[in-house]
Amino acid sequence: VVSTQSTGGKDRQNKSDQDGVSLSVIPLIPSLFIHIGTCAEYMDHFCKNFPLFDFPKHVLSIAHPQEPTEKQFCLVHSILRARSVFVDDYTVIEHCRIDNIKEIAIGKKCILSDIRLNEGSEFKIPDGIFMQTLCVRNVGEHKNENGFVTIVFGPGDDFNLSGDHPKIAGGLLLTDVC
């Protein structure tokens, strides 16, 4: 059994076999190649290419209050709750929970991943920031103790650049952060 469903100019085919198992097929645009090896490509994929396939901007996410916007940003499995929420263009927020905050303002061309923040007056991220929290394990004297580290840099930073004072996030010296 094959049925075709039109969604905004794109056709999705739903197929099912005799056991009733369904398979959804999304036809790709033949000339579109998606590579997400860099931060810029990652933001392009979620903010620009997702709408081409009729995927929603918010995937398993809550943003409250939700303001009508034409901004190109993407929320993936995230919760943003505040009195005021603003997310600018080409920003990807994934697996974040920023809750019980008075004001959330996230600039353009940002990637936020695995950020947890509960309570506070404001959470403001300037343009061009990549911020990710990772779980790390201490293998030294205090073995098997887990902790967390949050890394911050700019999506366009050159990590192959060497020198005495590497700069991140558009000119901030790494020694100023550590």
What average pLDDT does this structure show over 49-70?
74
Residue ranges of alpha helices (H) inside the chain are: 39-44, 50-52, 174-177
Q: 3-class SS at 48? A: helix
C-alpha–C-alpha distance, residues 54 and 6, integer Å: 10
Give all strands of the β-sheet with 22-25 in edge-to-edge order: 2-7, 10-16, 22-25
C-alpha–C-alpha distance, residues 90 and 57, integer Å: 11
Average pLDDT over all residues of the chain: 75
C-alpha–C-alpha distance, residues 132 and 129, integer Å: 10
Identity of the residue numbered 140? G
Query: What is the pLDDT at residue 7?
Result: 45
Question: Quick one: CA dihedral 159, 161, 165, 170, positive or negative?
Answer: negative
What average pLDDT does this structure show over 151-160?
78
Q: Are 96 and 119 in contact (CB under 8 A)?
A: no
pTM: 0.69
